[in-house]
């Protein structure tokens, strides 16, 4: 299987049902990204700031770059000039920093709030209480340079399909509830990013409209370490 045919097959499956494909290109070389690009893919996601910045600099400027990994506040400034969606916002402090650098760059930066839906302890993300606290915070009203577009979540890493389904069901319910309670007037709150290579079919059944696929597009990742060129 080639990257080209992977992109074509996945897009044939996703486009008719209105699900956005984010091709997760972490650890993959520029040549692989170009192959996906030439097959028509324009949205790519990375989980490390340095890797994201280097790829942004080296690759075509009409690529929409998403950050899907944990973001430290002191690194916001590096991606603020160009990032198209930060999927991993997990604190008010981080949101304020994004707003600050978005303003400096005269931009509005789209963000997803990452929700901790898995049963594992190690995952980043807001729990329900923290999510409500963030949304009700007075600071939210003053932030003119960020736009909350929706929620993102990662299911429990398990072979148990029922558990994965429950994680996604829970996130969809939360998304619907938050939309009604806090974003009723905002049509732009419309993104529910859930589903990776191993579980995206279940995620779509449960209402995802954005999937983040790495190995399904590019093949298995052999190394976790990105080599800067
Ligand atoms: C790596 C990663 C993905 C893609 O993983 P695959 O299993 O290769 O599809 C999706 N989302 C996040 C947050 C990731 O870090």
**How do residues 185-197 score in pLDDT, each as one tens digit?**
999 999 999 999 9
* pLDDT exceeds 90 at position 223: no
Instruction: Give yes or no for residue 176 having a pLDDT over 80.
Output: yes
Confidence of residue 200 (pLDDT cuts 50, 70, 90): very high
Which top CATH class is 3-218?
alpha beta
The reported pLDDT for the residue numbered 29 is 97
Ligand 1 binding pocket, CB closer than 6 Å:
24, 26, 47, 68-69, 154, 196-198, 212-216
Closest CA to 37 of 16, 15, 55: 55
pLDDT beyond 90 at 76 = yes
Question: HSE (CB half, 13 Å, CA atoms) of 172?
Answer: 17
Averaged pLDDT of the chain: 95
Going by CA atoms, what residue is nearest to atom 13 of ligand 1?
A: 68
Q: 170-199 burial by CB neighbour count: b if 16+ within 10 A, else e?
A: bbbebbeebbeebbeeeeebebbbbbbeeb
Residues 98 and 86 sit within 8 Å (Cβ to Cβ)? yes
- Report pLDDT for 226: 53
Indicate whether 210 pLDDT > 60.
yes
Whether pLDDT at 56 is above 60: yes
CA distance 192 to 153: 8
Return the residue whose CA atom lies nearest to atom 8 of ligand 1.
214
Q: Ligand 1 pocket check: which of 212, 213, 222 to mutate, most ligand atoms within 8 Å of Cβ?
A: 212
Q: Which is the closest atom of ligand 1 to the Cα of 213?
A: 9
How does residue 134 score in pLDDT terms, banded at 50, 70 and 90? very high
Q: Where are the domains positioned within the chain?
A: 3-218
């Amino acid at each position: 299987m080639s990257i080209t045919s992977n992109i074509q097959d996945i897009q044939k499956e996703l486009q008719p049902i209105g699900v956005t494909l984010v091709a997760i290109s972490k650890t993959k070389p520029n040549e692989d990204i170009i192959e996906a690009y030439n097959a028509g893919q324009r949205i790519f996601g990375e989980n490390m700031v340095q890797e994201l910045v280097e790829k942004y600099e080296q690759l075509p400027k009409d690529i929409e770059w998403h950050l899907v990994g944990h973001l430290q506040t002191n690194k916001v400034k590096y991606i603020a000039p160009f990032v198209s969606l930060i999927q991993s916002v997990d604190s008010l402090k981080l949101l304020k920093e994004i707003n600050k650098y978005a303003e400096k760059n005269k931009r509005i930066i789209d963000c997803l709030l990452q929700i901790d839906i898995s049963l594992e302890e190690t995952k980043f993300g807001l729990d329900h209480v923290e999510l409500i606290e963030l949304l009700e915070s007075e600071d939210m009203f003053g932030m003119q340079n960020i736009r909350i577009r929706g929620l993102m979540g990662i299911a429990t890493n398990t072979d148990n399909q029922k558990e994965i389904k429950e994680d996604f069901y829970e996130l969809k319910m939360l998304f619907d509830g938050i939309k009604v309670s806090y974003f009723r007037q905002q049509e732009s709150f419309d993104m529910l990013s859930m589903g990776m290579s191993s579980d995206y079919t279940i995620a779509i059944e449960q209402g995802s409209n954005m999937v983040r696929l790495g190995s399904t597009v590019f093949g298995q990742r052999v190394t976790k370490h990105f080599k800067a060129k």
